[in-house]
């Protein structure tokens, strides 16, 4: 068996896949990812486009950022979010 195919490595791969699936298993998170396809937006922008309360959007943004799906940058009082890996949309 090759080193890259050991049961220990497979378990790590399965764990990583499970984490990705967990992040993508929420409809609102998928909607956020889709809306960010066109470029960065603030939580306020997403709230208006999704027509849901800002705390709900913020909660999902936090999860996506903590899991590495999104990057954020602050400009004044606004935080802009964008996809960490835009190519993931092709997957």
For residue 42, the domain's CATH number is 1.10.10.10
Which parts of the chain register pLDDT below 50? Answer: 1
Per-residue confidence (pLDDT) for residue 15, from 0 to 100: 84
Per-residue confidence (pLDDT) for residue 4, from 0 to 100: 60
- Residue 2, CA distances (Å) to 8, 10, 36, 67 in order: 12, 12, 39, 30
Domain that holds residue 83: 3-90
| Selection from 41, 38, 30, 42 nearest residue 69 by Cα | 30
CA-CA distance, 69 to 83, in Å (whole number)?
6
pLDDT tens for 16-39 read: 788 888 888 999 999 999 999 999
Q: Cα dihedral sign for 38, 44, 49, 51? A: positive
Number of structural domains the chain divides into? 1
């Amino acid at each position: 068996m090759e080193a890259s195919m050991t049961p220990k490595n497979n378990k790590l791969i399965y764990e990583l896949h499970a984490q990705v699936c967990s992040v993508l298993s929420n409809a609102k998170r998928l909607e956020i990812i889709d809306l960010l396809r066109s470029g960065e937006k603030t939580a306020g922008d997403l709230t208006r486009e999704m027509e849901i309360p800002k705390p709900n959007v913020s909660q999902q943004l936090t999860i996506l950022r903590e899991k590495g799906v999104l990057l954020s940058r602050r400009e004044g009082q606004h935080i802009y979010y964008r996809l960490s890996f835009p190519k993931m949309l092709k997957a």
